[in-house]
Amino acid sequence: MTPEPFISVKGLTKTFKGAAKPALDHLEIQIEKGQMVGLVGPDGSGKTTLLRLLIGLMDPDRGSISVMGFDSRRQAEKIQAATGYMPQKFGLYEDLTVLENMNLYADLRNSPKNEREVRFAQLLAFTDLGRFRGRLAGKLSGGMKQKLGLACVLIATPDLLLLDEPSVGVDPVSRRELWKMVTKLTGDGLTVVWGTSYLDEAEKCSTVILLHQGRALYVGPPDQALDRVNNRSFALSGLNQSDRRQTLMDLLKDGLVMDGLIQGGDIKIVTKENEPPPPQLGPWVNKKPSFEDAFVDILGGPTLGESALAAKMADKPKDGAIVVEAIHLTKRFGDFTAVDDYSFQIKRGHIFGLLGPNGAGKSTTFKMMCGLIRPTLGEAKIAGHSLALNPTKARSHVGYMAQKFSLYDQLSVLQNLTFFSGAYGLFGARQKEQIELMEEVFDLCPFLSLDAGLLPLGIKQRLALACAVMHQPDVLFLDEPTSGVDPLTRREFWLHINHLAIKGVTVMITTHFMEEAENCDLITLIYRGRDVASGTPDELKNLVKSPNLPNPTMEDAFIELIAQNNLHLVA
Amino acid sequence: MRILKALIKKELLQVGRDPATIFTTMILPLVLLFIFGYGINLDVGSFKIGLVVEGNDPNSISLYSAFANSRYFKIVSGRDIREFQDEITASRLKGLIVIPSDFSQKLSSGQKTTIMLVTDGSDGNTATLVRSYARLTLLNWRETFLAEKGVKAPSLIDLELRSWYNPGLYSQKYLLPGSMAVILPITGVILTALVIVREWERGTMESLMATRAGIYQIITAKLITYFFLAIFSMLLCYAMTVYYYDVPFEGNFLVFLLIGSVFLVTALGQGLLISTVTKSQYHAAELAIISGFLPTFLLSGVIFEISSMPAVLQAITRIVPARYFVASLKTIFLAGDVWPVFIYTIVHLTIIGAAFFIITVRKAVKKIS
């Protein structure tokens, strides 16, 4: 008889009250001991539900779960005793100190008092939180909170670690540190299930569970998933900046490739099965496929060839004028300088990426550029109008999509469209015409009478973008527009953005996805309120090129440049 | 048990760190007692009234001075009713008393005599107070007057007004004890509901439940902590009422603690129920104020007399726990240990409290859903 696997999920189905579709649908998963399991999928795909079911905080509707040989329905306490579970918000008490949080979890996990001192010392050293043991958890940075959360679940030396999106909303530097810490633990025989919406993290796991709309699209080692896209991924370089957008769009529109992306100065494609890359362009260079390529392929590739939105939009003049300008922007809150003497210019039709770790000053810059907060020094100009002197005029050129969903949850889709079109100054026949256009290009017709709060995330983001572009602005400000959405929705968004840029719309964007930054014409890396590095994606990558790092990714560049700046500050 | 201890330790640490909790359990009761003690004074001090004395004889003057010396009235005197017409209309005078010119003559000849009292019917509450204070003053005067004359109570009806337990009819004396029924639910219902919902909202409930702590232990730890916080508030209110405002306390202190505890358990049950039916602090606060604070304030009989409410409202007051508590509070402070009242209170509170807990247990899910 073969021994029972460490985790065994059989025919698992879970449907929430009032939901049309099951949150998890007939899952079959087997996991062996000591694996690093990546539980990947976009927001709303069922990751959290699966983790809660595994630790017995919920019961399945149908099917069964066994963890370490215990049934999750009847023996939840036994599973919980041997498992460390870190929920999405880390489960920390913000008004307790680091040490008090650890003591609480040690008490609750029945960790013997005499062993505690040794264990705490180990964990504090491991997480590098020793210096902060007396600090309130609420006063820690996002990255440190994560580490503390991790320390709290490790106190009783569990056999299984369940982490629910520990890397969400965290910058690449902290993400990588946490990843290193957790992989070190699996070396000691710990089994880890790591929930994430970052597909690049999946590649580094030993087993991947790919969830999409409650179904497991793939369970197994990541290399096997990559097999399906092996020798189908190619890159084309040597295109000039404005051409690459048009070239990629033509490729997608004509259906010549399965998937395509801009990567700095290059175009990366994934061909259709058993088809060579389009011969008229070339020479194509074979590239190593990514897990995301496999995911997109499993999903059947992007559905749109061109942006109906941009196609319907009037061309903006191709004058190369400077449309957005920040002149020595500085913002101080008390004696804290959030943004320090920051200047940049964006030309018409360019995409400008604002990158940086959490708390670097990105949102503050964004708010100053929209005229939501007043700079302490310096000024911001949109289409030549100063936001300080002529705010109404300047703002009329801007469409703004805020971070997180900023529409009215209790209004229907149509009511939101009507309200925002009115707020942007549209009325009468033109208002009606624009609303109808948005319904059409964003495929919102089936949802018109539905409350916005009830929409799936991808549709919500579409609606938010629709509300921001309805008045055909010259400038589009997008604050993390794609966080948490699935790769197809992400591609749809970038198709719109790239096509709008071709039409002459100027775009400023922030994102935590470094691959997305590759679409930008110009990137500034901002850290501690200061401009640390700027240039094209390729220029930034070249800055960190070294014998150790011959082929840096955008994420490598980000991490390396922040690290260099830290050294600089210390020196 | 060890888990419960760890959880209570955590609660205490959190209470100590949270200025809002300290404010609601210590400062807010004092502020509210201040408002009840000074702000809401149903006595309205003294009323300004007009007094027309048409005659000039010793009897009229004697009655005049009885009103002028009364602590209930401030007198503006005149010779003619027409002088006061405008003042009354503008509500600057709360009433007008006319002692007619034949007052003394009729009185001396043993005839029945009348004095006139005009009050402002548009402000019924004040009118009633003026009426009863005026009657009180008049009766007092008559007693003295007759005594001086050596007459042995010839009047047919001798009305003797006597307010037991609160002889001076100071409204503070019944407002302040009753106010505890308004103050305690702030900690018991509102704060309790909020802190439990906060655990859900911040995701800490989930991570506690994934340890050896069960949801019942987590909630028990909260209830114990907030029970003692509320008891602390109650003692604070007691000390203020008895030592600062000099309200007498006639009953037994231990009985007071017992009834207070029963009331608090009911309040905690209500807070707990609110926290299980809502999952956001905003909704919890809304629900707690609407179902906890407002009914106690308006329907408990602290401020508005229940017997003068419409029948529908009177029926509703039967499910307001504070109503029963107020009755016992007034009794134990001003009258002493009257067990039938206390038992009535305890039985009703127990029934309501049990209902809260039973509904909670039915609603509460052991697992997240």
Are residues B293 and B341 located together in one domain of the fold? yes
Are residues B76 and B184 located together in one domain of the fold? no
| Domains in chain B, number | 2
Domain boundary among B164, B191, B206: B164
Residues of chain A contacting B13 with CB distance shorter than 8 Å = 95-96, 100
For residue B369, what is the nearest residue in chain A, using CA coordinates? A58
Residues of chain A contacting B198 with CB distance shorter than 8 Å = none
Per-residue pLDDT, averaged over A32-48, amounts to 88
- Residues in chain A whose Cβ is within 8 Å of chain B: 16-17, 52, 55-59, 77, 80-81, 83, 85-96, 100, 103-105, 107-110, 136, 152-153
Using CA atoms, how far apart are residues A251 and B5, in angstroms rounded to an integer?
A: 66
Domain boundary among B135, B164, B193: B164
The pLDDT of residue A202: 85
Using CA atoms, how far apart are residues A107 and A112, in angstroms rounded to an integer?
A: 8
Percent of chain B with pLDDT over 70: 89
Cβ distance of A92 and B204 shorter than 8 Å:
yes
Chain A contact for B20, CB < 8 A? Answer: no
Q: Indicate the DSSP class of residue A136.
A: B
Are residues B189 and B269 located together in one domain of the fold? yes
Percent of chain A with pLDDT over 90: 25
Q: Residue A398: beta bridge partners? A: A475
Is B368's pLDDT higher than 70?
no
Using CA atoms, how far apart are residues B40 and B30, in angstroms rounded to an integer?
A: 14
Strand, helix or coil at A535? strand
Are residues B115 and B138 located together in one domain of the fold? yes
Task: Specify the residue for token string 């982490």.
Answer: A163
Strands A385-386 and B73-78: unpaired
At A382, phi and psi to the nearest 5?
-120, 125
Q: Indicate the DSSP class of residue A45.
A: S
Residues of chain B contacting A96 with CB distance shorter than 8 Å = 10, 13-14, 17
Are residues B213 and B69 located together in one domain of the fold? no
Using CA atoms, how far apart are residues A62 and A212, in angstroms rounded to an integer?
A: 19
The pLDDT of residue B64: 87
Are residues B207 and B351 located together in one domain of the fold? yes
Using CA atoms, how far apart are residues A31 and A7, in angstroms rounded to an integer?
A: 5
Using CA atoms, how far apart are residues A507 and A354, in angstroms rounded to an integer?
A: 11
Which residues fall within 8 angstroms of residue A491, CB to CB, at 6 or more apart?
A259, A261, A296, A302, A304
Tens digits of residue pLDDT in A546-558: 888 888 888 888 8
Residue A380, H or E segment: strand A377-382
Residues of chain B contacting A93 with CB distance shorter than 8 Å = 10, 14, 204
Question: Hey, which bits of chain B come out as E strands?
Answer: 47-53, 73-78, 95-99, 116-119
A367: exposed, middle or buried (C-beta count within 10 Å: 0-12, 13-18, 19+)?
Answer: buried
Peptide bond into A283 cis (omega under 30): yes
Chain A contact for B7, CB < 8 A? Answer: yes
Percent of chain B with pLDDT over 90: 15
The pLDDT of residue B156: 41
Cβ distance of B367 and A56 shorter than 8 Å:
yes
Are residues B145 and B95 located together in one domain of the fold? yes
Are residues B201 and B323 located together in one domain of the fold? yes
The pLDDT of residue A350: 92
Number of inter-chain CB pairs under 8 A, A vs B: 80
Using CA atoms, how far apart are residues B324 and A206, in angstroms rounded to an integer?
A: 65
Cβ distance of A108 and B203 shorter than 8 Å:
no
Using CA atoms, how far apart are residues A330 and A175, in angstroms rounded to an integer?
A: 29
Range of the domain at B152: 47-164
Q: How far is B287 from chain A (nearest CA, A)?
A: 20
Cβ distance of A89 and B202 shorter than 8 Å:
yes
Question: Sorting pLDDT into bands at 50, 70 and 90, what band is A380?
Answer: very high
The pLDDT of residue B159: 46
**Amino acid at position B258, single letter:** L
- A50, A93, A116: which to substitute to probe chain B, counting the most B Cβ within 10 Å? A93
Per-residue pLDDT, averaged over A564-568, amounts to 76
The pLDDT of residue B369: 53
CATH number of the domain enclosing B78 = 3.40.1710.10
Are residues B230 and B141 located together in one domain of the fold? no
Is A528's pLDDT higher than 80?
yes
Tokens of A215: 């179904």
Are residues B24 and B100 located together in one domain of the fold? no
The pLDDT of residue A175: 80
Chain A contact for B368, CB < 8 A? Answer: yes
Q: Is the dihedral of CA A159, A164, A166, A171 positive or negative?
A: positive
Are residues B252 and B343 located together in one domain of the fold? yes
Per-residue pLDDT, averaged over B119-134, amounts to 77
- A15, A107, A148: which to substitute to probe chain B, counting the most B Cβ within 10 Å? A107
Note the Cα A347 to chain centre separation in Å: 26
The pLDDT of residue B157: 43
Are residues B197 and B337 located together in one domain of the fold? yes
Per-residue pLDDT, averaged over A331-348, amounts to 90
Question: Hey, which bits of A17-97 come out as E strands?
Answer: 24-31, 36-40, 62-67, 70-71, 83-86
Chain A contact for B204, CB < 8 A? Answer: yes
- B211, B218, B366: which to substitute to probe chain A, counting the most A Cβ within 10 Å? B211
The pLDDT of residue B162: 52
At A74, phi and psi to the nearest 5?
-95, -25
Q: Which residues of B126-138 are buried (b: 16+ CB within 10 A; e: fewer)?
A: bbebbeebbeebb
Residues of chain B contacting A87 with CB distance shorter than 8 Å = 203, 206-207, 210
Residues of chain B contacting A52 with CB distance shorter than 8 Å = 206, 368
Tokens of B338: 């009257």
Task: Specify the residue for token string 């016992």.
Answer: B328
Hey, what long-range contacts does A412-418 have (CB within 8 A, 24 or more apart)? A412/A448, A412/A449, A412/A450, A412/A451, A412/A452, A413/A444, A413/A447, A413/A448, A413/A449, A413/A450, A413/A452, A413/A455, A413/A463, A414/A448, A414/A449, A416/A452, A416/A463, A416/A467, A417/A444, A417/A463, A417/A466, A417/A467, A417/A470
User: What dihedral angle (degrees, nearest 10) is formed by the CA atoms of A170, A172, A173, A179?
Assistant: 80
Domain boundary among B164, B189, B216: B164
Using CA atoms, how far apart are residues B238 and B253, in angstroms rounded to an integer?
A: 10
Q: How far is A98 from chain B (nearest CA, A)?
A: 13
